[in-house]
């Protein structure tokens, strides 16, 4: 028994290869940057690091994680479909953001910036793999700390300072909340292993007799992670920070923490677990199974409405996109809120897979939209207000077309990934069976109302680009890496809505959340 | 030439789409080539549409009703399905989004009696849309024709789709090109009009989308065969499953299905009523019509509004028959009657000819809805015919108004007078089309309207009488417009002195086919009526079955609904 | 499951501790007051003779170099915190299991390497240059 356990622990390092490569590459870039300030050199090196990590991932992800249930109940990390998919999302996002950052970051800051980016990517991968509260917390911090640096690096004005400081303070605050929640989970169950915690909560033990502890834990965890996914009421930093920081910083903030936050929520609440850990999956059966969906329901509704309504009032594009990212967090929360009721059913409508699908789609279209702003900006003139885009359809027809694709995808017009994402999310919410059907149909109606509100302000941008003329057309310089980012995002946005890519992604998300059967050697860890 | 019908059906969508891409790629400068490419694409499409229509007539040897065993729920039966299943040629195997072993969203298109003539109408109206824009559109020509052809592909897709999600995809996709067509090439208020149009229809169709998904989910949760759950998005399957459940009429499920249908009806109503448009949600229409370029108006009035009525016919009536019977008739009946009369009075009050035609659309679409919500074969046939007739005559009216505007750059009736002396051919066409729109016997409008009122008289005579008043009003506003603009002493609006010529051959070519079709359908509408009969009977039978059941269930529930005035109750002994 | 009994007497060492602390503080203050020599000058009257002025705005500016040194110190402090426990149990009977010794050893080395890299990074960035 101890033998197996020790072997499992010793084995963990092999699977960590992609993250090890990323951190090693980051170290080299950090150090090397102090000798040579060259964005092309360090950009290429970081790109090579990301590609190497992807290659390592493709080598390691095929290995069947050994140890069965022992691994599940003892190892600090677990290697299932969700881990692999999240790592692919993080690495892919890393490549896109790296190309995006090429232009925005000056030579002097390039090395530090790219190294921070690599560490963030590694952190997101580790969040997905975490099977232990401490590992999870450390992985989340591995994302946060480089983010503070990254927000401040490309721009040094007062707004950027404010953005970095605001994010720093609030992030620390949210981490504290999260730790507080984790401590309650530990107090209730006496273990930090996630699977063991959920298993224990599902047993007939004294921990179930004190539901208030569980509720405090739940609320604190949702609050702590809610900061990362910009859920209302933890969203209020978003507009200021997005506006203050560089475009690439905003794009990164819109994507990476959301991936990490949602995956962490899936993990902590046990929505993705191997078969047999708990009888019905996740928190079902615990005292929390009733309250959690209600909490998420209200959070989703509030987040959608607040994000969309406030976005209507914005004249600054980055603020508008910040509120739009809040709104999209709301749509994803709809999926998260319906997940507890569709656990395990991966053939029909499935909310957890819809959430992951939406994350990918959202990443492509949002990073794309920010990249358009970055592409159009020149050192002398940065694109800030909505009016700056006037007449883009005439002066820059190709860039305008790309922006239109992203915006229509954000609205959710068919033939874009955004539509498929919304469809899957709503489909999941509509398919919630049993007594909660009415609540979730109502949530779906609210989501649709919000999609219509969202249509108004995204369409405003399209209208400005095509239906107005500009007195001072933008004169962007041609820039290959940024253009590559735009094309990749556009291809993903369109391609992921059509077969066969749409089906690949759907299949991958379904596999990621499908309960995996493990060898039957069920051994519970000693506590 | 031997072209596979199924391939032709795919080409019907692919040709305009490819044409659009080609136009967009040709660049801004090659206007001449682009126009010819667009014209060629639309002409090919007319050929393809007629070809598949003939193909359908040849294929249809037995009606869906005859094929369905007695006692089972009938359903639509599309023919010429591309990628057809070997076992059942009315289903497809082409998948869009695969949900694994349970099912998939499919690329399921096909033809039946209901959509075939709408396809032909769309294809035919695309040609004059290209021709009318020939000289009047000079800016950003490549984008213009690209959007126009995309719009064409989208509209054809809506009518062809037999998968509920595919239907919605095309339904939404028509918004994008029209948004740009109105917004870029429209009149002075174009930006506001484009955004209003887009948001209005988007908001409605998002709710419709929920209704459609609800049907899919309920059919998934309540499979006919509990051992083999199935996730289907095919409209014929969904109609079959819903109506089989209704026919089984399990007491435990009765309350569920009843409330479910009400919600589905309301959700579908939200989107389709905005599209039709019915009266309280019609305000986007006059604005969009007036601001749109002529081709946009033609397609908007001629085809896009039909997507709403078609949606009612294809989805709302079969998927929520009880709700349509109990709630639809009073609600939609009253709204349609209000629309007919209100639209007519609004038209009467306009000084702008284009606005007059726009409001006449609201009035005419009311007839269409009234016919369909009579729930009998005459009404349904009349409604379908009215869709085609309105498409032809209103499309042509917008063309004529556009031609007048191209010459004088004004549309104010007060500016014109006695144009008949100056523009003889245009006047002849205008009179001809106006008479068809008014419903002169011998022209197309008459047949549809007559059938609609036959149908409605059986169910609610009051609505029919009130609706018929709309015809009189229609004659009033159209004829007074004719009198003011084309007859009497000559009065030309001020223009920059260039010579005003009568219709050129391009314009005649745009109008002639429509006028020919108007005459043909007025004299000999049988081909349309006969080919649509079988499929309309499917809808009719679903509805009539439910009507009988509902009447038995709650002791003549339908008759007990409140009425506008006291009238003798049919089938009641004094 | 037994009802946990709550017995205040088990906490008596804490109370004892409290008494001792409070007593020591009181005795020290009183003793200083009684036997300390006194020269009353302005400087001597301040609570901290060579420190900060305790009265005034608390938000005074410090040179950022102090922070840098403090952070560097913290890093090495934490390093010791990790290394001591590892060194104690690394090769002890009942300490780290045999299969894990290798991975943990390399882990510690990686940790040290990381610190080294951080150190060099600080050096190159000029953290150690006093002005």
Residues ≥6 apart with Cβ < 8 Å to B433? B393, B396, B397, B400, B514, B515, B518
pLDDT the model gives residue A307: 94
B102-112 tens-digit pLDDT: 788 889 998 88
Is B569 a domain residue? no
- Torsion angle of alpha carbons B191, B193, B194, B197, nearest 10°? 160
Confidence of residue B544 (pLDDT cuts 50, 70, 90): confident
CA distance, residue A456 to nearest chain B CA (Å): 6
**A-chain residues within 8 Å CB-CB of C97?**
2, 6
pLDDT bracket for residue A387 (50, 70, 90): confident
User: In this predicted model, which residue has the larger pLDDT, B498 or A354?
Assistant: A354
pLDDT at A525 over 50: no
DSSP B111-166: B-TTTHHHHHHHHHHHHHHHHHHHHH--SSHHHHHHHHHHHHHHHHHHHHB-BHHH
Mean pLDDT of A87-116: 92
Q: Could you tell me which chain A residue has the CA closest to the CA of C126?
A: A34
Looking at the complex, report in whole angstroms how far the Cα of residue A205 sits from the nearest Cα belonging to chain C. 10
Whole-number Å distance between alpha carbons of A311 and A318: 10
Average pLDDT for chain B: 85
Scanning every residue of chain A, which has its alpha carbon at the shortest distance from the alpha carbon of C124?
A: A34
| φ/ψ bin of B187: left (φ > 0), alpha (ψ from -120 to 50), beta (otherwise) | beta
Per CB-CB distance under 8 Å, the chain A contacts of C96 are none
User: A64 near A78, Cβ under 8 Å?
Assistant: no
In angstroms, the Cα distances linking B210 to A36, A303, A423, B217, B265 are: 57, 20, 9, 10, 11
Residue C4, pLDDT score: 60
> How many Å apart are CA B160 and CA B78, to the nearest integer?
9
Which residues of A lie closer than 8 Å to C, measured between beta carbons? 2-3, 6-7, 9-10, 13, 27, 30-31, 34-35, 206
Confidence band, pLDDT 50/70/90 cuts, at residue A527: very low
Taking an 8 Å cut-off on Cβ atoms, the answer to whether A431 and B195 are in contact is no
Of A349, A444, A456, the CB nearest to B199: A456
A80 neighbors A67 (Cβ within 8 angstroms): no
Minimal CA–CA distance to B212: which of B165, B259, B157, B273? B165
Check CB contact under 8 Å for A467 and B183: yes
* Closest CA–CA distance from residue C38 to any residue of chain A (Å): 47
At A80, is the pLDDT very low, low, confident or very high (cuts 50, 70, 90)?
confident
B117 neighbors B535 (Cβ within 8 angstroms): no
pLDDT band at B376 (very low <50, low <70, confident <90, very high): confident
Of C103, C120, C125, Cβ closest to residue A13:
C103
In this predicted structure, the answer to whether residue B275 has a pLDDT above a threshold of 70 is yes
Residue B369: pLDDT over 50: yes
Token digits of residue A229: 């996914």
Q: Looking at residues A130-159, what average pLDDT do you find?
A: 90
Q: Quick one: pLDDT at residue C97?
A: 80
Measured between beta carbons, the chain A residues lying within 8 angstroms of C121 are 30-31, 34
Pick from A441, A130, A26: nearest CA to B218: A441
Query: What is the rounded CA–CA span in Å between residue A244 and residue A151?
Result: 9
Q: Is the pLDDT of residue B471 over 80?
A: yes
Test B100 with A347 for CB contact under 8 angstroms.
Answer: yes
Q: For A183-236, what is each residue's pLDDT tens digit? A: 988 888 888 888 888 887 777 655 555 667 788 888 899 999 999 999 988 888
Subunits with 3+ C-beta pairs closer than 8 A to A? B, C
H/E segment holding residue B95: strand B95-98
| Structure confidence by residue, pLDDT tens digits, B233-256 | 999 889 988 888 888 877 778 888
Share of chain B above pLDDT 70, in %: 94
Res B286 pLDDT > 50: yes
Confidence (pTM): 0.90
Tokens 């030439």, residue located: B1
Q: Name the pLDDT band for B572 (thresholds 50, 70, 90).
A: very low
pLDDT of A133 over the 50 cut: yes
**Distance between CA atoms of residues A481 and B144, nearest Å:** 32
Length of chain C: 131
Q: Give the residue on A whose Cα is nearest the Cα of C101.
A: A10
Which pLDDT score is estimated for A279?
57
- pLDDT per residue over C56-114, tens digit each? 777 777 777 788 888 888 878 888 888 888 888 888 877 778 778 888 888 889 888 98
Q: Quick one: pLDDT band at residue C131, thresholds 50, 70, 90?
A: low
On chain A, the residues whose CB falls within 8 A of the CB of C120 are 31
Q: What is the pLDDT of residue B459?
A: 85
Sign of the Cα pseudo-torsion (B455, B459, B461, B466, in order):
negative
CA dist A110 and A120 (Å) reads: 15
E strands, C1-131, are none
Give the pLDDT mean for B508-527: 89
Residue A500: asked if its preceding bond is cis (omega within 30°), the reply is yes
Nearest CA in chain B to A502: B97
The pLDDT of residue A276 is 64
- Each residue of B289-340: pLDDT tens digit? 888 898 999 999 889 999 999 999 999 999 998 888 888 888 888 899 999 9
Partners of residue B443 on adjacent β-strands: B441
The C-side interface with A (CB below 8 A) comprises 1, 97-100, 102-103, 114, 117, 120-121, 124-125
Q: How far apart (Å, rounded) are the C-alpha atoms in residues A140 and A229?
A: 12
pLDDT of residue A318: 92
Percent of chain A exceeding pLDDT 90 equals 50
User: For residue B384, is it within any domain?
Assistant: yes
User: CA-nearest residue of chain A to C107?
Assistant: A13
Percent of chain B with pLDDT over 90: 28
The answer to whether A466 contacts B172, with C-beta atoms less than 8 Å apart, is no
Nearest CA in chain C to A108: C125
Q: Which pLDDT score, from 0 to 100, does residue A185 have?
A: 86
**Which segment, A513-522, B306-315, B450-459, is predicted with the most confidence on average?**
B306-315
Statement: residue B570 has pLDDT above 50:
no
Question: What burial letters (b/e) apply to A53-77, b meaning 16+ CB within 10 Å?
Answer: bbebbeebbeeebebbbbbbbbbbb
Residues of B in contact with A507 (CB under 8 A): 98, 100
C97 contacts A6? CB cut-off 8 A: yes
Q: Which of A199, A417, A185, A499 is nearest to B94 (CA)?
A: A499
What angle is formed at CA B143 by the lines to CA B137 and CA B145, rounded to 5 degrees?
60
Do B and C make contact, counting contact as 3+ CB pairs within 8 angstroms?
Answer: no
Q: How much is the average pLDDT of B501-511?
A: 86
Q: Taking all residues of chain C, what is their mean pLDDT, rounded to a whole number?
A: 81
Would you state the pLDDT for residue A280? 54
Residue B96 sits in which domain range? 5-494+501-560
Q: ∠A134-A137-A143 over CA atoms, to 5°?
A: 145
Residue in chain A lying closest to B189 (CA): A467
| pLDDT higher than 60, residue C18 | yes
Cα separation values, B133 from A467, B31, B36, B506, Å: 19, 12, 12, 11
Structure ipTM over 0.85, yes or no = yes
Per-residue pLDDT averaged across B20-34, rounded?
A: 85
Three-state SS at B14: helix
**Tens of pLDDT, residues A248-293:** 999 999 999 999 999 999 988 888 776 666 655 555 555 566 778 8
In this complex, the residue of B97, B176, B191 whose CB is nearest that of residue A467 is B191
CA–centroid distance for A143 within its chain: 11
How many other CB atoms sit within 10 Å of the CB of residue B4? 12
Residue B54: inside a domain: yes
Which residues share a beta bridge with A77?
Answer: A130
A 10 A CB-CB count for A527 gives 10
Residue B567 placed within a domain: no
Nearest to A348 among B190, B195, B220 (CB): B220
The pLDDT value recorded for residue B70 is 60
Cα A78 to Cα A69, A271, A368, B370: the distances in Å are 11, 14, 32, 63
Per-residue HEC secondary structure of B186-254 comes to CCCCHHHHHHHHHHHHHHHHHHHHHHHHHHHHHHHHCCCCCCCCCCCCEHHHHHHHHHHHHHHCCHHHH
Residue A413 to residue B176, Cβ atoms within 8 A: yes
Of A348, A393, A455, the CB nearest to B202: A455
pLDDT of residue A210: 63
Which residue in A304, A338, A349, A458 has the most chain B C-beta atoms within 10 A of its own C-beta, making it the best mutation to test that interface? A349
Interface test with chain C among A1, A4, A6, A205, by most C beta carbons within 10 Å = A6
Best of A8, A15, A16, A27 to mutate (most C CBs within 10 Å, chain C): A27
Give the CA count within 13 Å in the CB-facing half-sphere of B523.
6
A385 forms beta bridges with A316
Q: What is the DSSP string of B501-525?
A: ----HHHHHHHHHHHHHHHHHHH--
Domain contains B195: yes
Q: Is the pLDDT of residue B60 over 80?
A: no
- Give how far Cα A306 sits from Cα of A322, A450, B204, B374, Å: 12, 10, 21, 44
**Average pLDDT of the residues in A55-79:** 73
Of the pLDDT bands very low, low, confident and very high (cuts 50, 70, 90), residue B565 is very low
Q: How many domains does chain B have?
A: 1
Average pLDDT over residues B31-45: 90
Q: How confident is the model at residue A59 (pLDDT cuts 50, 70, 90)?
A: confident
How sure is the predictor about A520, in pLDDT bands with cuts at 50, 70 and 90?
A: very low
Tell me the mean pLDDT in the region A22-37.
92
| Mean pLDDT confidence for A346-374 | 90
At B2 the pLDDT is 57
DSSP calls for A279-324: SSSTTTTSGGGTHHHHHHHHHHHHHHHHHHHHHHT--BHHHHHHHH
Over residues C34-42, mean pLDDT: 81
Cis omega (within 30 of 0) for bond into A312: no
């Amino acid at each position: 028994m101890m033998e197996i356990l020790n072997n499992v622990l010793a084995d963990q390092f092999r699977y960590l290869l992609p993250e090890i490569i990323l951190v090693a590459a980051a170290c080299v870039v950090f150090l090397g940057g102090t000798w040579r300030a060259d964005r092309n050199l360090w950009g290429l090196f970081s790109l090579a690091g990301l590609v190497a990590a992807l290659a390592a991932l493709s080598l390691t992800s095929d290995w069947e994680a050994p140890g069965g249930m022992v691994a599940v109940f003892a190892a600090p990390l677990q290697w299932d479909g969700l881990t692999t998919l999240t790592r692919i999302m993080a690495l892919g996002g890393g490549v896109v953001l790296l190309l995006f950052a090429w232009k925005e970051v000056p030579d002097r800051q390039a090395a530090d910036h790219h190294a921070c980016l690599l560490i963030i990517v590694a952190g997101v991968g580790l969040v997905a793999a975490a099977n232990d509260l401490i590992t999870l917390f450390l992985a989340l911090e591995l994302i946060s700390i480089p983010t503070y640096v990254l927000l401040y690096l490309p721009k040094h004005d007062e707004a950027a300072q404010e953005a970095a400081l605001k994010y720093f303070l609030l992030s620390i605050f949210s981490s504290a909340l999260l730790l507080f929640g984790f401590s309650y989970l530990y107090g209730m169950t006496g273990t930090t292993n996630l699977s063991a915690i959920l298993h224990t909560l599902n047993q007939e033990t004294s921990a179930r007799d004190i539901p208030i502890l569980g509720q405090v834990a739940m609320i604190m965890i949702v609050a702590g992670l809610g900061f990362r996914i910009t859920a209302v009421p933890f969203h209020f930093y978003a507009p200021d920070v997005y506006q203050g920081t560089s475009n690439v910083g905003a794009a990164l903030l819109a994507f990476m923490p959301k991936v990490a936050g949602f995956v962490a929520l899936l993990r902590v609440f046990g929505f993705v677990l191997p078969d047999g850990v708990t009888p019905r999956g996740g928190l079902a059966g615990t005292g929390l199974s009733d309250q959690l969906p209600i909490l998420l329901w209200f959070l989703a509704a509030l987040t959608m409405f607040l994000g969309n309504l406030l976005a209507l009032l914005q004249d600054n594009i980055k603020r508008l996109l910040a509120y739009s990212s809040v709104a999209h967090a709301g749509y994803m929360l709809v999926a998260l809120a319906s997940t507890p009721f569709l656990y395990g059913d991966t053939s029909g409508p499935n909310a957890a897979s819809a959430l992951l699908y939406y994350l990918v789609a959202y990443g492509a279209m949002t990073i794309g939209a920010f990249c358009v702003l970055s592409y159009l900006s020149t050192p002398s003139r940065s694109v800030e207000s909505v009016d700056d885009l006037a007449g883009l359809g005439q002066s820059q027809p190709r860039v305008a077309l790309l922006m239109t694709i992203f915006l229509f995808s954000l609205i959710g017009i068919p033939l874009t990934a955004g539509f498929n994402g919304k469809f899957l999310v709503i489909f999941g919410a509509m398919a919630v069976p049993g007594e909660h059907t009415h609540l979730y149909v109502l949530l779906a109606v609210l989501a649709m109302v919000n999609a219509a509100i969202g249509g108004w302000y995204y369409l405003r941008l399209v209208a400005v680009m095509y239906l107005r003329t500009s007195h001072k057309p933008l004169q962007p310089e041609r820039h290959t890496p940024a253009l590559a980012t735009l094309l990749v995002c556009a291809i993903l946005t369109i391609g992921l809505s059509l077969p066969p890519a749409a089906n690949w992604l759907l299949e991958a998300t379904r596999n990621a959340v499908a309960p995996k059967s493990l060898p039957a050697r069920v051994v519970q860890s000693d506590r | 030439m031997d072209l596979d019908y199924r391939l032709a059906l795919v080409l019907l969508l692919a040709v305009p789409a490819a044409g659009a891409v080609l136009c967009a790629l040709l660049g801004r400068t090659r206007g001449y080539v682009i126009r010819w490419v667009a014209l060629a694409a639309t002409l090919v499409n007319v050929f393809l549409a007629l070809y598949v229509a003939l193909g359908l007539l040849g294929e249809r040897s037995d009606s869906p009703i005859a094929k369905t065993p007695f006692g089972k729920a009938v359903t639509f039966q599309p023919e010429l399905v591309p990628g057809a299943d070997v076992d059942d040629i009315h289903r497809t195997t082409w998948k869009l989004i695969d949900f694994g072993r349970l099912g998939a969203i499919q690329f399921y298109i096909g033809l039946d009696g209901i959509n075939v003539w709408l396809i032909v109408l769309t294809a035919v109206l695309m040609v004059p849309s290209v021709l009318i824009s020939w000289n009047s559109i000079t800016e950003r020509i490549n984008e213009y024709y690209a959007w126009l052809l995309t719009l064409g592909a989208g509209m054809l897709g809506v009518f062809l789709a037999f998968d509920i999600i595919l239907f919605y995809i095309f339904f939404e996709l028509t918004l994008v090109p029209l948004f740009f067509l109105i917004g870029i090439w429209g009149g002075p208020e174009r930006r506001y009009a484009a955004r209003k149009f887009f948001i209005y229809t988007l908001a409605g169709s998002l709710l419709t989308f929920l209704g459609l998904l609800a049907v899919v989910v309920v059919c998934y949760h309540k499979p006919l065969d509990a051992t083999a759950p199935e996730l289907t998005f095919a409209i014929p399957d969904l109609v079959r499953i819903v109506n089989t459940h209704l026919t089984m009429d399990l007491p435990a499920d009765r309350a569920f299905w009843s409330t479910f249908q009400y919600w589905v009806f309301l959700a579908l109503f939200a989107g389709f009523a905005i599209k039709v448009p019915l009266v309280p949600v019609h305000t986007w229409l006059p604005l969009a019509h007036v601001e749109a370029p002529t081709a946009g108006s033609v397609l908007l009035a001629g085809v896009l509004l039909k997507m709403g009525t078609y949606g009612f016919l294809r989805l709302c009536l079969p998927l929520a028959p009880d709700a349509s019977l109990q709630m639809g008739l009073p609600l939609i009946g009253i709204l349609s009657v209000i629309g007919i009369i209100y639209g007519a009075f609004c038209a009467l009050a306009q000084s702008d000819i284009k606005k007059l035609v726009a409001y006449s659309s609201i009035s005419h679409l009311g007839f269409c809805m009234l016919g369909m919500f009579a729930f009998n074969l005459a009404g349904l046939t009349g409604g379908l015919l009215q869709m085609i007739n309105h498409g032809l005559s209103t499309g042509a009216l917008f063309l004529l108004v556009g031609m007048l505007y191209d010459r004088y750059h004004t549309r104010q009736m007060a500016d014109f007078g006695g144009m008949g002396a100056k523009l003889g051919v245009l006047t002849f066409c205008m009179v001809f089309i106006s008479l068809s729109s008014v419903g002169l016997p011998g022209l197309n409008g008459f047949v549809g309207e007559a059938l609609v009122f036959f149908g409605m008289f059986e169910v609610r005579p009051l609505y029919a009488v009130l609706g018929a008043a709309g015809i009189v009003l229609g004659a009033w506003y159209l004829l007074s417009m004719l009198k003011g603009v084309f007859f009497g002493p000559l009065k030309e609006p001020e223009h920059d002195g260039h010579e005003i010529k009568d219709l050129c051959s391009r314009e005649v070519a745009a109008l002639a086919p429509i006028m020919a079709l108007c005459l043909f359908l007025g004299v000999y509408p049988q081909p349309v009526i006969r080919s649509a009969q079988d499929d309309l009977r499917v809808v009719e039978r679903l509805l009539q079955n439910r009507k009988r059941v509902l009447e038995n269930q709650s002791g003549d529930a339908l008759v007990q609904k409140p009425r506008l005035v006291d009238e003798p109750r049919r089938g009641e002994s004094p | 499951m037994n009802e946990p009994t709550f017995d205040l007497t088990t906490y008596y060492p804490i109370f004892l501790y409290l008494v001792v602390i409070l007593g020591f503080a009181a005795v020290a203050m009183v003793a200083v007051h009684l036997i300390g020599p006194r020269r009353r000058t302005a400087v001597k009257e301040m609570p901290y003779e060579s420190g900060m002025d305790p009265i005034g705005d608390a938000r005074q500016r410090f040179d950022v170099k102090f922070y840098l040194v403090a952070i560097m110190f913290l890093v090495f402090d934490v390093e010791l915190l990790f290394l001591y426990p590892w060194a104690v149990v690394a090769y002890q009977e009942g300490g780290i299991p045999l299969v894990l010794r290798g991975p943990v050893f390399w882990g510690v080395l990686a940790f040290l390497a990381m610190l080294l890299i951080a150190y060099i990074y600080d050096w190159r960035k000029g953290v150690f240059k006093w002005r």
